[in-house]
């Protein structure tokens, strides 16, 4: 028979641990003097009782006088003298006095006071119930099951639709839900267009009326230089009425009539466009729009001045198109990133190929043809796409894969690898409501275990019973139990409260 010596401060838990680590069935435990095990007669009894559960026997040896008495009391005849609640010997006072080997030597007189009574009462009414509650309610256990598994690889076609709200396994449908995000930004580019700016030449002409009627010239009437080269155009800057010609009668029948006097009127004019070429010398003749030169003609008696021009940068149509497209492409990426990162949870899976983009607002700071070195745009873009819930897809696949799983087994919800692809060709400028998906899944089949039923069956059971029970289930391999808090492991029992039992199934 093997012998083990424990330390003076080793309590019941420490002693049991050392004995179990030794791994022998029969042994002698040598207990030192003044060991904490001798503080209560139940300590030795508890150690022996716990070891007997696992088929082990133990004997105690000690040089301690009190300890020897306690060891003797482990004899079935003597053990009846131990009070199960207090651990003290239930002898009469006289018998205790007559004993040759006193059970416990107390070096002082014990006086029972009201304070001690109050302490004992608190202990009985508070500490004991709390301890019971703690051991019954608080302990938790995690059962880790290793089970056999078989790979299952399949490819299935399913439909994502915004027209349904729940999974329809018969029609292979899962709900598709829209999600939208927006992004705004401003951008500025250099302009590439050109335009001519400057001052228009101005002057004054004398309009000659050769007719017998007054002639009205409206403001804005076109007046063109009469020349063999470039017919420069001017416009009337005011409205005038040119008087008709006057004809004096002949002094006598024998004398000819005097020459007629043409009507004349000054008219302010302005060049039609900018340019120095409109600065004309005096003495130029002009045709007035709407009148024949035989009836009405204009001449400048003084030169035209003030005309000048230059080329400047301006906004072109190409500038606006380029800026709009560049900023639109940049904001598409920003909106998509926001869609994936902040609008969706881990459970929500976006189908990126269903995302469509559109301009919500577009504001340029300049118009086409406007003089400017820079063109700025503020643009807001929306990104809208469809997403599905991974749990709903898993639920549909679980139904579709049932025909490939043998009885007593199920598809594991863990360690699955799923690839989802869009079969349809989608126009990114048009919103979609339905799309066909090709789903490739690599899963594993494991034994079918009802965790709720298992928790109810194993609550309060010994760990050894749990191992025997689970070992009878086809495909179940090893089992490990983790207790929380760890010190309740010595009880070797699962929690009474089934809610405190967690079951974790892992593939071998």
**Per-residue pLDDT tens over the stretch 156-166:** 999 999 999 99
- Distances in whole angstroms, Cα of residue 355 to Cα of each of 93, 352, 362, 381, 391: 92, 5, 21, 12, 22
Residue 89 has pLDDT above 60, yes or no: no
Query: Is pLDDT of 98 > 80?
Result: no
Work out the angle between the directed axes of helices 12-22 and 42-53 (0-180°, nearest 10): 30
How many angstroms separate the first and last alpha carbons of the chain?
Answer: 40
Same domain, 98 and 206: no
Classify strands 150-161 and 173-175 as parallel, antiparallel or unpaired: parallel
Among 240, 229, 337, 330, smallest CA distance to 284 is for 229
Residues 301 and 204 in one domain: yes
Contacts of 308 (CB under 8 A, 6+ apart): 198, 199, 274, 275, 276
Q: Return the pLDDT at 11.
A: 85
**Residue 15 pLDDT exceeds 70:** yes
Taking residues 181-202, what's their average pLDDT? 95
State the Cα–Cα distance between residues 377 and 395, nearest whole angstrom.
48
Do 144 and 222 fall into the same domain?
no
Do 199 and 92 share a structural domain? no
Contacts of 112 (CB under 8 A, 6+ apart): none
* Higher per-residue confidence, 175 vs 47: 175
Q: Ramachandran region of residue 447, left (φ > 0), alpha (ψ -120 to 50) or beta?
A: beta
With 0-12 CB in 10 A as exposed, 13-18 as middle and 19+ as buried, what is 434?
Answer: middle
CATH code of the domain containing 221: 2.40.30
Instruction: Give backbone dihedrals phi and psi of 336, rounded to 5 degrees, phi first.
Output: -65, -40
pLDDT score of 403? 86
pLDDT at 96: 35
Written as six digits, the tokens of 220 are: 């804005």
Top mean-pLDDT range of 43-52, 298-307, 416-425, 460-469? 298-307
Question: What's the pTM?
Answer: 0.52
The strand pair at 501-507 and 140-147 is best described as parallel
Structural domain boundaries, residue 55 = 2-110
Residue 348 has pLDDT above 70, yes or no: yes
**Domain boundary residue, one of 290, 313, 336:** 313
Residue 284 included in any domain: yes
pLDDT tops 80 at residue 80: no
Whether the ω angle into residue 485 lies within 30 degrees of 0, i.e. cis, is yes
Beta bridge pairs of residue 186: 378
Same domain, 13 and 105: yes
- Kindly state whether residues 104 and 143 are assigned to the same domain: no
Q: Evaluate whether residue 92 is within a structural domain.
A: yes
Residue 87 belongs to some domain of the structure: yes
Domain-ending residue, one of 275, 292, 313: 313
140 and 96 in a single domain? The answer is no
351-369: pLDDT as tens digits: 998 999 999 999 999 999 9
Q: What confidence tier does 123 reach under pLDDT thresholds 50, 70, 90?
A: low
What is the tens place of the pLDDT at every residue in 140-158?
888 888 888 889 899 999 9
pLDDT at residue 75, rounded to an integer: 63
**Whole-number Å distance between alpha carbons of 163 and 334:** 29
pLDDT at 107 over 60: no
Residue 452: inside a domain: yes
pLDDT the model gives residue 413:
79
Give how many domains the chain has, as a whole number: 3
Structure tokens at 491: 């009880």
Residues 79 and 41: their CA atoms lie apart, in Å, by 9
């Amino acid at each position: 028979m093997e012998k083990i010596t424990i330390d003076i401060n080793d309590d019941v838990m420490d002693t049991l641990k050392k004995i179990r680590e030794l791994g022998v069935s029969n042994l002698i435990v040598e207990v030192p003097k003044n060991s904490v095990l001798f503080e209560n007669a139940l300590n030795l009894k508890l150690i022996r009782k716990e070891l007997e559960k696992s088929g082990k026997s133990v004997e105690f040896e000690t040089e301690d006088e009190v300890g020897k008495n306690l060891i003797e009391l482990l004899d079935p005849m003597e053990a009846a003298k131990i009070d199960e609640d207090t651990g003290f010997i239930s002898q009469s006072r006289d018998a205790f006095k007559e004993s040759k080997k006193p059970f416990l030597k107390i070096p002082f007189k014990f006086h029972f006071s009201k304070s001690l009574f109050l302490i004992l009462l608190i202990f009985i009414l508070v500490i004991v119930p709390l301890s019971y509650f703690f051991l019954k309610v608080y302990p938790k256990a995690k059962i880790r099951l290793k089970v056999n598994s078989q790979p299952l690889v399949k490819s299935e076609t399913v439909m994502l639709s915004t027209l349904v709200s729940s999974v329809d396994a018969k029609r292979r449908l899962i709900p598709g839900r829209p999600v939208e995000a927006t992004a705004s930004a401003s951008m500025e580019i250099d302009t590439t267009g050109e335009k001519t700016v400057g001052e228009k030449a101005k002057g004054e002409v004398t309009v000659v009326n050769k007719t017998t009627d007054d002639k009205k010239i409206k403001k804005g009437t076109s007046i063109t230089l009469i020349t063999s080269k470039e017919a420069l155009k001017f416009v009337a800057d005011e409205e005038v009425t040119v008087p008709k010609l006057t004809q004096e009668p002949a002094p006598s029948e024998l004398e000819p009539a005097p020459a007629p006097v043409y009507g004349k009127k000054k008219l302010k004019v302005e060049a039609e466009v900018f340019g120095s070429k409109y600065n004309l010398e005096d003495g130029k003749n002009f045709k007035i729009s709407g009148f024949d030169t035989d009836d009405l003609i204009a001449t400048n008696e003084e030169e035209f001045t003030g005309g000048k021009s230059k080329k400047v940068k301006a906004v072109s149509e190409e500038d606006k198109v380029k800026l709009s497209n560049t900023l639109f492409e940049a904001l598409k990426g920003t909106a998509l990133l926001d869609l994936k990162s902040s609008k969706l949870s881990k459970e929500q899976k976006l189908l990126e190929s269903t995302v469509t983009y559109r301009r919500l607002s577009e504001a340029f700071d300049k118009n086409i043809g406007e003089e400017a070195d820079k063109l700025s745009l503020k643009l807001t873009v929306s990104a809208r796409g469809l997403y599905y819930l991974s749990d709903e897809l898993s639920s549909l696949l679980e139904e579709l894969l049932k025909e490939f799983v043998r009885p007593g087994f199920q598809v594991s919800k863990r360690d699955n690898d799923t690839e989802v692809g869009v079969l349809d060709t989608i126009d990114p400028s048009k919103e979609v409501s339905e799309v066909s998906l090709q789903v490739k899944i690599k899963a594993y089949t494991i034994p079918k275990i009802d965790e709720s039923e298992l928790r109810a069956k194993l609550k309060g059971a010994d760990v050894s019973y749990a191992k025997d029970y689970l070992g009878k289930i086809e495909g179940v391999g090893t089992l490990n139990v983790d207790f929380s808090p760890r010190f309740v492991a010595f009880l070797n029992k699962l929690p009474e409260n089934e809610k405190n039992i967690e079951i974790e199934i892992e593939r071998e």
